[in-house]
Amino acid sequence: MVDMADFHVDIGPQYEGEVVRKEDMHVEFGGPKAKAKFELVTLKSMDEVEHEKVEIIGPDIKDMAEGSTSSIALLVDIAGEELEKDMEPVIERRFHMYMNNIEGIYHMNQRNDIWIRLNKESFKKGLNSLKEVGDMLIFLYTSELMAIEKISITFVTDEAKVQELLADAMKIYAARDERLKGLKEEDVEEFYGCVLCQSFAPTHVCVVTPERIANCGAINWFDGRAAYKLDPEGPIFGVEKGECVDEVRGEYTGVNQNSMERSLGEFDQVYLHSAFEHPHTSCGCFQSICFYIPEVDAFGIVHRDFSGPTVIGESFTRMAGTTSGGRQVEGSLGMALEYLRSPKFIQGDGGMYRIVWMPKEVKERYQECIPADLFDKIATEDDVTNADELTAFLEKVGHPWVKGEVELP
Ligand code: SF4
């Protein structure tokens, strides 16, 4: 039985929002420097899970050099009579909260984007093994989610093994996202909201609809439904849709009301499908940014893994600084990459036909959701390096937006 008294550091919500900067870091797992990283929860049958077992495959914290970066796979197996397959992503998303509840640990992002840091102070206090981190996570999971009857955690830090396991995890993430195909906002009465990121972005409220996955990409509409069912008092809640005020921009009275209440009066109007006027708030966990390019009156997309400068000369990291924090920033929309697949993707601003630049990797990964007549007309880092070159490129290829062929709805 895991006990609080066994831990070298404290646990509690007071540590949420604590950031571990590079100079204070003892070691880190995942993040941009790590070759492979992911977290995954899997529901298994009762006899397949050895309760409270923590296994480490690869080097442990105490074996790592100070300041080093390691690949990581965080695998959690759970079992319980009341658990459902739909609940896996929701329980997985709790990592973010629980990891950040541990004194001296900082967790960002989700799925195959995770970034975890341990600070020097907690290491000096004796937190020098992933075994103890696993015990703390088990303590938090079993204290808060009673439906979990059995839980075991495996940390894989062997880089080759993480890379091998990542391929299967990607298939699982894709299958989760696939379930939403065809389901529309008009088909449901209720959306879901999440305020997990308020520890870092105090006025941020994610609104999750069948056509708008959460900014982090980890919670889709089905996940929101499962989360609310699993823990009705938790950070994910139902949002009554209310009346549709603006079908194109995606404005609903229920969403406005919810945002006003949950942002403590900061915002009372939200467009779910526009980056202008009242865009969805951006926390800090978003996978990508849809950014306005004034020279061509159109948008670019940049994702977290793109380290170079974008076509406007700013990197993702720099743009994230001005986009995040839980604000509505006109022309700068933090979003999940999967939102690109939504038929309502910034439809109030012209949708995919208003996109003129994106990293090659994103363009290839999301090829099937870019109209065939547009694909070659969206520039990448291989085609242009600044706004002047972009303008010339768009004119040369005849991008429908610059040719005036796209009518705003
Ligand atoms: S990005 Fe949104 S859905 Fe994801 S954890 Fe943060 S608040 Fe929740």
Select the more confidently predicted residue: 181 or 38: 38
- Between helix 88-100 and helix 130-144 the angle, nearest 10°, is 120
The pLDDT-based confidence of 360 (bands split at 50, 70, 90) is very high
Give the pLDDT confidence score for residue 288 in this predicted structure. Answer: 96
Ligand 1 atom nearest to CA at 219: 3
Query: What is the arithmetic mean of pLDDT over 134-149?
Result: 94
Ligand 1 atom nearest to CA at 217: 4
Give the pLDDT confidence score for residue 16 in this predicted structure. Answer: 83
Ligand 1 atom nearest to CA at 214: 3
Name which of 315, 312, 302, 205 is nearest 261 in CA terms: 205
Give the pLDDT confidence score for residue 386 in this predicted structure. Answer: 97
Q: Name the residue at shortest CA distance from atom 5 of ligand 1.
A: 196
Residue found by looking up tokens 């969206």 in the block: 378
Structure-token pair, residue 81? 């009579």
CATH architecture of 4-178: 2-Layer Sandwich (3.30)
Distance 195 CA to ligand 1 centre (A): 6
Percent of the chain residues past pLDDT 70, beyond the cut: 100
Beta-strand pair 298-303/355-357: parallel
Give the pLDDT confidence score for residue 327 in this predicted structure. Answer: 93
Query: What is the arithmetic mean of pLDDT over 334-351?
Result: 96
Give the pLDDT confidence score for residue 119 in this predicted structure. Answer: 98
Least confident of 5-9, 167-171, 345-349: 5-9
Ligand 1 atom nearest to CA at 195: 7
Enumerate the domain spans of the chain.
Answer: 4-178, 185-397
Residue 62 pLDDT more than 90?
yes
Give the pLDDT confidence score for residue 394 in this predicted structure. Answer: 98
Give the pLDDT confidence score for residue 384 in this predicted structure. Answer: 98
Name which of 130, 117, 7, 15 is nearest 66 in CA terms: 117
Give the pLDDT confidence score for residue 339 in this predicted structure. Answer: 96
Give the pLDDT confidence score for residue 231 in this predicted structure. Answer: 87
Give the pLDDT confidence score for residue 300 in this predicted structure. Answer: 98
CA dihedral sign, ordered 215, 221, 224, 230: negative
Distance 274 CA to ligand 1 centre (A): 19
Distance 171 CA to ligand 1 centre (A): 22
Distance 96 CA to ligand 1 centre (A): 9
CB proximity list for 407: less than 8 A, separation 6 or greater: none
Q: How many CA atoms lie within 13 A of 66 on its CB side?
A: 9
Class of domain 185-397: alpha beta
The pLDDT-based confidence of 86 (bands split at 50, 70, 90) is confident
Name which of 287, 267, 285, 286 is nearest 277 in CA terms: 267
Give the pLDDT confidence score for residue 218 in this predicted structure. Answer: 86
Give the pLDDT confidence score for residue 270 in this predicted structure. Answer: 97
Give the pLDDT confidence score for residue 369 in this predicted structure. Answer: 92
CB 239, CB 191: distance < 8 Å:
yes
Distance 30 CA to ligand 1 centre (A): 19
Q: Name the residue at shortest CA distance from atom 6 of ligand 1.
A: 197
Q: Name the residue at shortest CA distance from atom 2 of ligand 1.
A: 206
Mutational test site, ligand 1, from 96, 219, 338, max ligand atoms within 8 Å of CB: 219
Which residues sit with their C-beta closer than 6 Å to ligand 1?
93, 96, 194-197, 206, 214-216, 218-219, 283, 285
Mean of pLDDT over the chain: 94
